[in-house]
A = this chain, B = another copy of it.
Amino acid sequence: MPAPHRDRHHHHVLVRKLDRLVPLTEDDAGALADLSVGARQVRPRTELLHEGDTPDEVILVLEGFAARCKFQPTGHRQILAHLLPGDLCEADAGHLSRLDFSVGTLSACMVAFIPRRALVSTLERHPAMARALRLAKLQEEAISREWLVNVGCRSALERMAHLLCELQVRLQAVGFATRNGYGFPITQQDLGDTLGLSNVHVNRTLRVLRDQNLIEWRERQMRILDLPQLQAIAAFKAGYLHSTTGHESLPR
């Protein structure tokens, strides 16, 4: 029993992600999949783009956790965004002279480096993809707004719960989470740099969630035991992710 024709490339993360935002043709999907030939396995804690660079390649994460981050003179690191499978990074950074942050892997990752020119020309030939990427960018911005709220006015427990809920939704949208958990191959230090907490306090906060039987985290696998309760703690509203069931209104 053959899969429907239009699903031929749907094993590809980026296709899965964008098709939820804007229905793609089989032709679109193929062109998209072609962009990520030559993907490479990258070790954890590897810098992919450096602060101050003017990269002529765009990063596409296919597997694993990567991140945008900024390093402070004090040695502190702030993680600005998690780059999950299907996330395309710095698509329009070419407009700026220099990056004001760096991009690196947290875990081992499968990453494609897409020449900007190739991306641009593909987008010109596939306007639906361009529209989907604009929507994806808006989602990203909504996430970073929520992160500012997180560090700005939530307690450690609330922040942690909120992040775990967000990842559940985002990863599920690209097929990297089950109903009650996901692979979570990052360190507690990474988590601290994400949430603006010390690694020690991250540990204590996780223990509270574990002691309340809300989560379990072993062998790089996060199990969400009580999602409703976790969402309640975080006052988590999935709406901001704009990824509910796909196919947003398409003005303009």
Contacts and interface: CB of A to CB of B under 8 A. Distances in A.
Given A97-B248, A138-B92, A152 B153 contact: no
Given A72-B235, A144-B144, A235-B73, A78 B152 contact: yes
B96 A242 contact: yes
Contact size class for A?
35 or more
A52 to B, nearest CB: 9
Contacts of A235: 72-74
Given A100-B240, A148-B148, A95 B135 contact: yes
A138 B96 contact: yes
B252 A95 contact: yes
Given A134-B95, A196-B153, A145 B248 contact: no
A100 B239 contact: yes
A80 B149 CA distance: 8
Contacts of A249: 97
A58 B98 CA distance: 29
Interface string A117-161: 000100000000000001100100110111111011110000000
Nearest to A142: B100
A101 interface: yes
For A70, A149, A152, A196, the residue with the greatest tally of chain B CB atoms inside 10 Å of its CB is: A152
Nearest to A73: B235
A235 B70 CA distance: 13
A73 B74 CA distance: 35
A175 interface: no
B78 A248 contact: no
29 contacts: A70-B149, A72-B235, A76-B153, A78-B148, A78-B152, A80-B148, A80-B149, A92-B138, A94-B252, A95-B135, A95-B138, A95-B250, A96-B135, A96-B138, A96-B142, A96-B242, A96-B248, A97-B249, A100-B240, A100-B242, A101-B145, A120-B252, A141-B141, A144-B148, A147-B148, A148-B151, A151-B151, A151-B152, A152-B196
